C-alpha cells in the first residue's frame, strides 16, 4: 500500500479497519481534555471497560455467598483459573492442558527453573541474551548462585555484533553449539524489550534441544503481540505477564506454558502445593501429592480471583478477535507509524534511527527510535501534549501502537506533535 502522511488518509485507514470498534471498549486517560495517544501497551495496557464488571461480579459473589462462592458462584472460584486454558492456548499456540495462570512473571520463572534448570556435572550453564530485562538478569543470577555456581562462569550471554542493534540468529546458534554439553538451559526473552526484535524461537529451541539443554522463553513482550506456536516448536516451558498487551491491570497474574511431555510425572523436580494436587481428590486432604495431569500441577496456592477477573475480561476480547486479525492490523499500523517517522524526519533537522528490525516477521507492536540530537526535553514535550510514550537511556523512545485501541489517526497526530516539538526547540 502507498501511504500518505495526511489526516484524511489516516482517517480512511481507520474507516477500513475491522478492529476500529474495539477502541471504544477501552478507557483512555485524558491530557488537556483529550484522549491520550497511548504508545505504552508494551508496559501497561489500557483498562477494558468490561474489567470493572468482571471484578464487580466477584465482589457481589463474595458479599452474597462468602465462602460458598468457591463452588456456587456463577464463575466458581475453585476452578476459576481453568477458564483461561482454552483461550490462552489459542493466543500462545498450545494445547489447553499445557497452559495455566498463576502468580506473577518472575515468580513463575523461578518456579519453572526448579523443574528445568537442573545443573549437574559439567552441564550447568545458562545461555541468555546480553542486557536482558533486569528482572531476568537478577532471577538467572540468583538461580545459579543458589545452585552453588559463580554467575560469571555459569551465565553465558549472547552478544550483538559491534555497531549492530539486533541479535543475529546465527550468532545465537553458534553460541549454543560452542557451549555444547555444558549448556543446561537456554532462557531468552522472545521479544527483546529494548529494541522490539522477535527471536527465531523455533530455530533456537531446536538448537538448544540438539545440545541436550532445556529451552524456555520469557514471553513478557510476546504474548498477545506476536504469533506463537509453543507446542509446535516443542518449547519446554514459557511464562508471560498479562498486563502489557493483554490488558489485565498492573502487576497482574502470569500465564505459564509447560510442555505436555512433562505432565503426569511425580518424579519431576517441582515446588508443590495444594492447588496442584489432583482436583478430584483435593479435599480429601491426603498427605501424598498427586499432581494434576496438566500444567495445573505447577499451581501452588489457590487462585487470586480478584486479580484474575480483569485478565479474563480482556481475554474474552482476544478470543473474539483472534490473533491473526490482531497481527494483521499490527503489521499495518506499525508500518504506517514507521512511514510517518520517515516523513517527519525529512522535515526536521534531526535524525531518527529506528533500531527495531524492518522485517515484519522480526518485530511486533513496537518501534524503538534513537532520537539523535534530541534529549529528554522532547520526551517531556510529547508527554505534556498527551503522547504517552516510554523513554530509555540514552535517547530512545519506544512506541508500541497496540492494535486493539490505537488508531491510524493517532499515528498521524503523533507525527505532527513530534515535528512541532523538534521545530519549536530548534527555533529557540
Grid coordinates belonging to 403: 492494535
Which residues contact residue 75 at a Cβ distance below 8 angstroms, ignoring those fewer than 6 apart? 57, 58, 61, 83, 312
Say how many CA atoms lie within 13 Å of 353 toward its Cβ: 11
Burial of 171 (C-beta count, 10 Å sphere; 0-12/13-18/19+): middle
Model pLDDT, residue 283 = 86
Residue 257's H or E segment, with its range, is strand 254-258
**Rounded mean pLDDT, 109-126:** 97
Assess whether pLDDT exceeds 80 at residue 238. Answer: yes
Distance CA 316, CA 47 (A): 14
3-state class (DSSP) for residue 197: strand
**Rounded mean pLDDT, 309-318:** 98
Distance CA 358, CA 338 (A): 9
3-state class (DSSP) for residue 352: strand
Assess whether pLDDT exceeds 80 at residue 389. Answer: yes
3-state class (DSSP) for residue 337: helix
Model pLDDT, residue 350 = 66
**Rounded mean pLDDT, 15-20:** 98
Assess whether pLDDT exceeds 90 at residue 392. Answer: no
* C-alpha distances out from residue 257 to 154, 222, 230, 261, Å: 25, 13, 8, 12
Instruction: List, in order of start, the domains of the chain with CATH numbers.
Output: 7-42+322-427 (3.90.1150.10), 79-241+254-302 (3.40.640.10)
pLDDT in tens, 153-186: 999 999 999 999 999 999 999 999 999 999 999 9
Assess whether pLDDT exceeds 90 at residue 69. Answer: yes
Model pLDDT, residue 376 = 82
Model pLDDT, residue 428 = 44
> If pLDDT is split at 50, 70 and 90, which confidence band does 29 have?
very high
* pTM for the whole structure: 0.95
pLDDT in tens, 291-309: 999 999 999 999 999 999 9
Grid coordinates belonging to 28: 483512555
**Rounded mean pLDDT, 53-57:** 98
Q: Are strands 125-129 and 155-158 parallel, antiparallel or unpaired?
A: parallel
Q: Check: CB of residue 241 under 8 Å from CB of residue 105.
A: yes
Model pLDDT, residue 426 = 55
pLDDT in tens, 329-384: 999 999 999 999 999 988 887 678 999 999 999 999 999 999 877 778 889 999 99
Amino acid at each position: 500500500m502507498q501511504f500518505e502522511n495526511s489526516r484524511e488518509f489516516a482517517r480512511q485507514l481507520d474507516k477500513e479497519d475491522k478492529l476500529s470498534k474495539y477502541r471504544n471498549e477501552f478507557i483512555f486517560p485524558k491530557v488537556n481534555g483529550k484522549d491520550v495517544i497511548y504508545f505504552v501497551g508494551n508496559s501497561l495496557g489500557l483498562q477494558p471497560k468490561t474489567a470493572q464488571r468482571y471484578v464487580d461480579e466477584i465482589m457481589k459473589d463474595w458479599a452474597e455467598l462468602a465462602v460458598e462462592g468457591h463452588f456456587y458462584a456463577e464463575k466458581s472460584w475453585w476452578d476459576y483459573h481453568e477458564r483461561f486454558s482454552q483461550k490462552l492456548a489459542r493466543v500462545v499456540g498450545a494445547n489447553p492442558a499445557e497452559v495455566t495462570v498463576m502468580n506473577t512473571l518472575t515468580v513463575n520463572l523461578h518456579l519453572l527453573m526448579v523443574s528445568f534448570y537442573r545443573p549437574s556435572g559439567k552441564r550447568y550453564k545458562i545461555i541468555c541474551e546480553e542486557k536482558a530485562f533486569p528482572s531476568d538478569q537478577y532471577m538467572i543470577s540468583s538461580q545459579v548462585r543458589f545452585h552453588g555456581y559463580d554467575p560469571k562462569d555459569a551465565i553465558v550471554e549472547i552478544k550483538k555484533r559491534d555497531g549492530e542493534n539486533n541479535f543475529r540468529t546465527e550468532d545465537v546458534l553458534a553460541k549454543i553449539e560452542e557451549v555444547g554439553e555444558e549448556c543446561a538451559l537456554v532462557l531468552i526473552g522472545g521479544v527483546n524489550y529494548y529494541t522490539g526484535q522477535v527471536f527465531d524461537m523455533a530455530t533456537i529451541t531446536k538448537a538448544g534441544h540438539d545440545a541436550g539443554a532445556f529451552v524456555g522463553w520469557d514471553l513478557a513482550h510476546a504474548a498477545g503481540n506476536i504469533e506463537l506456536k509453543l507446542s509446535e516448536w516443542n518449547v519446554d516451558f514459557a511464562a508471560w505477564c498479562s498486563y502489557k498487551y493483554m490488558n489485565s491491570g498492573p502487576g497482574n497474574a502470569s500465564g505459564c506454558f509447560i510442555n505436555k511431555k512433562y505432565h503426569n510425572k511425580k518424579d519431576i523436580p517441582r515446588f508443590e502445593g495444594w492447588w496442584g494436587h489432583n482436583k478430584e481428590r483435593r479435599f480429601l486432604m491426603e498427605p501424598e501429592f498427586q499432581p494434576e495431569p496438566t500444567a495445573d500441577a505447577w499451581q501452588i496456592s489457590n487462585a487470586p480471583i480478584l486479580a484474575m477477573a480483569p485478565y479474563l475480561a480482556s481475554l474474552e476480547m482476544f478470543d473474539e478477535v483472534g490473533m491473526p486479525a490482531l497481527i494483521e492490523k499490527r503489521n499495518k499500523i506499525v508500518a504506517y507509524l514507521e512511514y510517518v517517522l520517515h516523513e517527519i524526519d525529512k522535515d526536521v533537522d534531526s535524525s531518527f534511527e529506528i533500531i527495531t528490525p524492518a522485517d515484519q516477521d522480526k518485530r511486533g507492536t513496537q518501534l524503538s527510535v534513537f532520537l539523535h540530537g534530541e534529549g529528554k526535553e522532547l520526551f517531556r514535550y510529547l508527554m505534556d501534549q498527551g503522547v504517552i510514550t516510554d523513554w530509555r537511556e540514552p535517547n530512545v523512545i519506544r512506541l508500541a501502537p497496540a492494535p486493539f485501541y490505537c488508531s491510524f489517526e493517532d499515528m498521524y497526530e503523533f507525527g505532527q506533535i513530534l515535528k512541532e516539538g523538534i521545530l519549536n526547540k530548534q527555533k529557540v
